[in-house]
Amino acid sequence: MLFGICVFPEKNVQDEANKWRIRHDPHYCNIPPHMTIREAEEWDESTLKLAVDHLSKSTASLSPFKVTFNRVSTFFPVTPTLYFALEDPAPVLTLQETICTGQLAQTLHNYVYTPHITIGRNMPPGELHDLYGNLRMKQMKLTTVIDRVHLLYQTEQGGWTAYQSFQLRDS
């Protein structure tokens, strides 16, 4: 089964992202707005058990934190993607580095991990540039608390649902 790890922002951020996602993100119906912490991967039962144990231990050492999305950015020309960018990505990078160790360490990718919330993907270049040009001129300050990490699995219909959530508790 395909598993991934993410964090979900609070409703105010999800609502703002969904204003754009409903039209520009083909994954709109499959998963709410989120920040991916670890890319999806096929796991068997033993890998899942090890991952759950690792997430339980990792999240016990982390405290909840606030993040602010302050602009729209793009991954173009690498991918035709628009996203909400973080004012300071350091807390999410720390979270990702803590979680993606040991059993959940990932092989190297051809990209640098950039925490974000996707609002548009697979867009034709003209539409992407037009929307990006408009959105980058708008003032944005969306703040949310990150207080838990979610282990998700992909359903047979292609949607994603929570397998288990792990509260950041700094014990």
Instruction: Give residue-wise pLDDT tens across range 44-70.
Output: 999 999 999 999 999 999 999 999 999
The angle at the Cα of 161, spanning 157 to 162, to the nearest 5 degrees, equals: 160
pLDDT of res. 83: 98
Residue owning tokens 């068997």: 44
40 SS3 class? strand
pTM for the complete prediction?
0.93
DSSP per-residue codes, 133-145: HHHTTS---EEEE
Q: d(Cα 45, Cα 9) in Å, to the nearest integer?
A: 29
Catalytic residues: 34, 116
Cβ atoms within 10 Å of 113's Cβ, excluding its own: 17
Share of the chain above pLDDT 70, in %: 99
Instruction: Give residue-wise pLDDT tens across range 6-18.
Output: 999 999 999 999 9
What average pLDDT does this structure show over 102-126?
A: 88
Boundaries of every domain in the chain: 2-167
Q: Is 3.20.20.70 the CATH number for 2-167?
A: no
Q: d(Cα 126, Cα 73) in Å, to the nearest integer?
A: 15
